[in-house]
Amino acid sequence: MEHLTGAPAWTVALQESGFAFAIRDSAWIYPTANLLHILGLALLVGSILILDFRLLGIGRSISVDGLSRLTRPFSVLGICLSLASGSILFSADAAALASNPVFRAKMAILAAALANAGLFRLLWRRRIAERLHAIPGAAKLQAALSGLAWLAVGSCGRMIAYF
């Protein structure tokens, strides 16, 4: 078990819980959660990037609204899988992860990416729903930032083990 000195008390309690012990003790729970986390990330980031690329001008013959309706279930499934499996992975090593600077960066970027998605929906959904062309520059900028943020979330997740 990781060194627990200086870790927030709630992370130590979580990591020392029976739930976390069961995760670490099982030959299947942690690896399965890890695979589901990667699958969730692929579904989430893949579906978001498709929509972001459309907003940036690729596939102009497809309406933004139609593509959004097509990709939304994959995004929702991806975020649900990622959050559920990520919670399991975090529980197993909560104290060390809470003090990991790359994990903290991942969480901050994740929060910003989710806020950006909500803000985008609020600002642009009705204005660009049926457009095939002429996506406003601010919407394109937000789409580009979205793609970068989600790629950064995945990249940070991969880098956590090295810091």
pLDDT tens series, the chain, 163 aa: 445 667 899 999 999 999 999 999 999 999 999 999 999 999 999 999 999 999 999 998 888 889 999 999 999 999 999 999 999 999 999 999 999 999 999 999 999 999 999 999 999 887 786 666 788 999 999 999 999 999 999 999 999 999 9
Residue type, 154: G
Domains of the chain: which residue ranges? 9-162
Q: Extract the tokens encoding 124.
A: 């642009």
- What gap in Å lies between CA 49 and CA 3, rounded to an integer? 38
- How many CB atoms neighbour CB 47 within 10 A? 23
The one-letter amino acid code at 84 reads: A
**Which residues have C-beta within 8 Å of that of residue 156, sequence separation ≥ 6?**
102, 103, 105, 106, 109
Length of the chain equals 163
Residue 37 near residue 82, CB atoms below 8 Å: yes
Number of H helices and number of E strands within the chain? 7, 0
